[in-house]
Amino acid sequence: MIPIKPVLPDTPAPSAMGTVQAYMQPGLLNLPVLPPLSLYVHFPWCVRKCPYCDFNSHEASGALPEAQYLQALRADLEAALPLIWGRKIYTIFIGGGTPSLMSAAGLDRLMSDIRSLLPLDGAAEITMEANPGTFEAEKFRSYRDSGINRLSVGIQSFNPRHLKALGRIHDDNEARRAVDIAASNFDNFNLDLMFALPGQTLDEASQDLATALSFAPPHLSLYHLTLEPNTVFAKYPPVVPDEDASAEMQDRIEAELQAAGYGHYEVSAYARPGRRARHNLNYWEFGDYLGIGAGAHSKLSFPHRIVRQARYKQPASYMEQALRGNPIAESNEVGRRELGFEFMLNALRLSDGFAVNLFSERTGLPITAIDAQLDEAERRGMLLRDHQRIRPTELGQRFLNDLQQIFLAE
């Protein structure tokens, strides 16, 4: 974390009196330090859009404009540099879409550009998402040689019937082969699984987990299938397990993972000791992140304000605008009234909650700014707190949306 002075980044240094006045202005924050900074890189193309997916992904038709896109990413990063001067990058996440469609040479170029423009922490966690249908052993060895040190593999299921229902491009044999390649080339990797799938039984969900555990992954992400708006599944809903059945699946998953030595540290995340996802932890602890690429989002802190940005969403528009030096489609300052909710929206996802002083450190507001909401959450039995820590109870974790909404600004 970087100590900072109470000076706006886009104004001249004030006099001593000006500094005092800046602290007293009601619209300004007073951040004592800047939070850790991460980099997110979005690769927007995939082989086929899954019917449940609401991410900014686009089916590839013909040859990908990889060289032009990489050029746009570099231009995007160069344009963002004045906002993050002197700040070190602690984690990188390359997501999508399907980043593993990128050629080995393309990934190497991307990592070279990042290293030439940004100071990376010596122990930076660098994660890349990968689809089992795109696994080639030699290419993934090249990814590792280019600097990728953590892989996140989108398995979703090892059951061929469920993979077909989810519209995945890989089958169960390719899923197993992908995990073998990941485990052979990376010391640190994550497997994504989903449950409450169309027609899935409790035993089938348990079998998916048992198969995943047989590979001894350092990290597992377990997601409940949700029918998101503007997806094929929302338009043509499949028959999925009811609430009682899906809750039973979740209970069994948690019990089996606990027995296998995995800590349930976030709503959907389980890890062996020392293998928590540092990039995602930075999000959940309201750290900063610079997002580059089509549709990528950023959250950047300055001494007296916090800014959110969004890049142009369509790949063609993004490339055109980024190469012109204007990749940002939207930019706005997070208001004081929204900060409490935004912080709690993230931090309450963590099973252990957060240290009390982290709230002031990341928002620039005193913890007393949300006292009334904390009291209400505690009264409902959804929150525990003392002078050192605030964390959700088991009830709060189970009904997380209700807990988070308590902190929504009126």
pLDDT digits (tens, 9 = 90+) for 57-85: 888 888 899 999 999 999 999 999 999 99
For the ranges 137-141, 177-181, 298-302, the lowest mean pLDDT is seen at: 137-141
Strand (E) or helix (H) holding 203 = helix 202-213
Residue 410 has pLDDT above 70, yes or no: no
Read off the pLDDT of each residue in 185-189 and give the average, rounded to a whole number.
95
- Under the banding of pLDDT at 50, 70 and 90, the label for residue 96 is very high
Give the per-residue pLDDT at 56: 87
Q: pLDDT tens for residues 50-63?
A: 888 888 888 888 88
Give the per-residue pLDDT at 307: 97
Give the per-residue pLDDT at 27: 64
- Under the banding of pLDDT at 50, 70 and 90, the label for residue 4 is very low
Q: pLDDT tens for residues 136-174?
A: 888 899 999 999 999 999 999 999 999 999 888 888 899
- Under the banding of pLDDT at 50, 70 and 90, the label for residue 3 is very low
Computed over every residue of the chain, the mean pLDDT equals 91
Read off the pLDDT of each residue in 281-299 and give the average, rounded to a whole number.
98
Read off the pLDDT of each residue in 396-406 and give the average, rounded to a whole number.
95
Give the per-residue pLDDT at 6: 29
How far, CA to CA in Å, does 108 sit from each of 46, 96, 147, 224, 407? 20, 17, 8, 34, 43
Read off the pLDDT of each residue in 35-42 and give the average, rounded to a whole number.
98
Position 250, amino acid: Q
37 DSSP β-pair partners: 89, 288
Give the per-residue pLDDT at 402: 96
Record the pTM: 0.91
Read off the pLDDT of each residue in 302-319 and give the average, rounded to a whole number.
97
CB 305 within 8 A of CB 8: yes
Expressed in angstroms, the distance from the first to the final Cα of the chain is: 32
93 DSSP β-pair partners: 40, 127
For the ranges 47-51, 98-102, 109-113, 317-321, the lowest mean pLDDT is seen at: 47-51
Give the per-residue pLDDT at 230: 87
Sheet of strand 263-266: strand arrangement = 263-266, 269-271, 219-224, 188-195, 150-156, 120-130, 89-96, 37-43, 288-292, 297-302, 305-311, 328-333
- Under the banding of pLDDT at 50, 70 and 90, the label for residue 1 is very low
Domains in the chain with CATH codes: 2-30 (no CATH), 34-282 (3.20.20.70), 338-410 (1.10.10.10)
Q: Which residue has the higher pLDDT, 21 or 78?
A: 78
Give the per-residue pLDDT at 28: 80
Determine the Cα–Cα distance for residues 89 and 70; give it in Å rounded to an integer: 19
**CA torsion sign, 337 to 41 to 156 to 189?**
negative
Residue partners of 370: CB distance under 8 A and separation at least 6 = 340, 344, 359, 407
**CA torsion sign, 358 to 359 to 362 to 366?**
negative
Q: Which two tokens stand for residue 202?
A: 């409790």
Give the per-residue pLDDT at 99: 95
Read off the pLDDT of each residue in 268-284 and give the average, rounded to a whole number.
98
Read off the pLDDT of each residue in 26-37 and give the average, rounded to a whole number.
86
Give the per-residue pLDDT at 392: 98
Cβ neighbours of 393 (radius 10 Å): 17
Give the per-residue pLDDT at 302: 96
Q: pLDDT tens for residues 334-386?
A: 999 999 999 999 999 999 999 999 999 999 999 999 999 999 999 999 999 99
Residue 102 has phi, psi (to 5 degrees) of -65, 140
Residue 281 has pLDDT above 50, yes or no: yes
Q: Which two tokens stand for residue 378?
A: 């505690």
Q: Which two tokens stand for residue 226?
A: 């949700």
Burial 28-52 (b: 16+ CB within 10 A, else e): bbbbeebbbbbbbbbbbbbeeebbb
